[in-house]
Structure 1
Amino acid sequence: MVTGSEAATPQMSILFVCTGNICRSPIGERVLTGLAGRAGVPVTSSSAGVGALNGQPIHPHASAVLVENGYDASGFESRYLRPPMLTEADLVLCMSREHRAAAQQMAPARWKRVFTLTEFAALCDLGALPEIIAGRGRLDPNSDLLDIVDPMGRPREDFDRVFAEVEPKVEALVTWLAAPGAKRAGQSSAEQASATRPGRHATGESR
């Protein structure tokens, strides 16, 4: 059970990525908004698609599955993924390996902060973001298990399946976000101590 009392500033910005930004990534975005809000965890949740058309409504089946499970689906409009969205996000969570590769290619300097949702959920118990980045080699980066299959053009049951995959992974994310500040700020305790030493300056991320 996550509680807001464990949450700490600064607020983290999380971007979900899929293909059309009308099925999978909106589910991730709205589930995170709902769960984080209930837990009192400050977070900015957004989404975009590598092949999206701007301004499209959420898919009716995705909307229905969200509403039926207690999440808000109103007012959604799709967005085409652009590099500034990736550079402004603290963490990018993709629905498949294909999306992960596209996002990393689009913003190479941010590649370390780009994961599949399944990948990050499996690693988030490692601690702060640097530890998660270091631990990503524990998983096969080419495994089909890292993908959440696109339900577009499929029956409503496939959207239920996507929701059933996404929600527990986002719950794990919210638990991570609610942990003490080092995890949410993306710095380990050692890095935070180093950053406060005289004469030490932060460096930008690079490949």
Structure 2
Amino acid sequence: MTPRVLFVCTGNICRSPMAEYLLRHRLRDHSDAVSVSSAGVAALVDHTVHPLTAEVLAERGIATDGFAARYLTPAMLNEADLVLGMSREHRDAATTKAPVRWKRIAVAREFDEAIAVRTADLAATRFPGDRNRPELDIADPMGRPREEFDRVAAELDPLIERLADWLIGLRGQ
């Protein structure tokens, strides 16, 4: 079975699609390794990615053609094996929509920390540290200058690299 990863942010045009496309790009040689998608808790439904998100990704050789923002639904959460929010707010909104899936919902940074201490699994139940630390959040670049979009990409790059390596290793088990 192919694991399904769902990234979540607010409008589904900046952070979560950036994470989605970065992970897809990182897994391009393992296209069957994982299914990757994204959605937003207050999505700008059917919008393309933000122009600055598209620019940042294009500079990495990643095209976002055909992207359409989606509103996060309980069905999406029930189908996902791993849900990674860009902030605590997104984790909490996802958990509210699908409370029985709480073990599979985390902030991207807290799941990254679980990978680092080797406690991550597709039904993660333990996360290191305080789950309500503000530093877990990746700040929204919406309405901000290009540098903020670059910052988001710089924050996501190492998280996505470790997540991709973990997912590839998972397939090898």
| TM over 0.5, shorter chain | yes
| DSSP-derived class of the 1:179 partner | helix
Is the contact between residue 112 and residue 162 of structure 2 (CA under 8 Å) also seen in structure 1? yes
Using structure 2 for the length normalisation, give the TM-score.
0.93
Larger radius of gyration: 1
Q: 2:142 maps to which residue?
A: 152
Q: 1:190 maps to which residue?
A: none
- Indicate how the Cα distance of structure 1 residues 38 and 181 shifts in structure 2: closer, same or farther if over 3 A, else same: closer
Q: 1:92 pairs with 79, 83, 95, which one? A: 83
Aligned positions of 1:132-171 closer than 5 A: 132-134=124-126, 136=127, 138-171=128-161
Which blocks of at least 5 consecutive residues in structure 2 are unaligned?
none
Q: 2:113 maps to which residue?
A: 122
CA distance in 2, matches of 1:16, 1:118: 12
Runs of 4 or more off by more than 3 Å in structure 1?
38-41, 180-183
Is the contact between residue 124 and residue 132 of structure 1 (CA under 8 Å) also seen in structure 2? no
| DSSP-derived class of the 1:79 partner | coil
Q: 2:64 maps to which residue?
A: 73
1:14 partner amino acid: V
Q: Give the aligned CA root-mean-square deviation in angstroms.
A: 1.7
Higher helix share: 1
Per the TM alignment, residue 40 of structure 1 is displaced from its structure 2 partner at its CA by 5.5
Per the TM alignment, residue 38 of structure 1 is displaced from its structure 2 partner at its CA by 3.2
1:62 partner amino acid: T
List per-residue Cα deviations over 1:37-80 (Å, max 9, x = no partner): 13556111100000013101110000000010122221111001
| DSSP-derived class of the 2:77 partner | helix
Q: 1:45 maps to which residue?
A: 36
CA distance in 2, matches of 1:63, 1:12: 26
Aligned residues: 172
- Indicate how the Cα distance of structure 1 residues 54 and 180 shifts in structure 2: closer, same or farther if over 3 A, else same: closer
Aligned positions of 1:45-64 closer than 5 A: 45-64=36-55
Q: 2:104 maps to which residue?
A: 113
Using structure 1 for the length normalisation, give the TM-score.
0.78
2:125 partner amino acid: I
Which blocks of at least 5 consecutive residues in structure 1 are unaligned?
1-9, 184-207
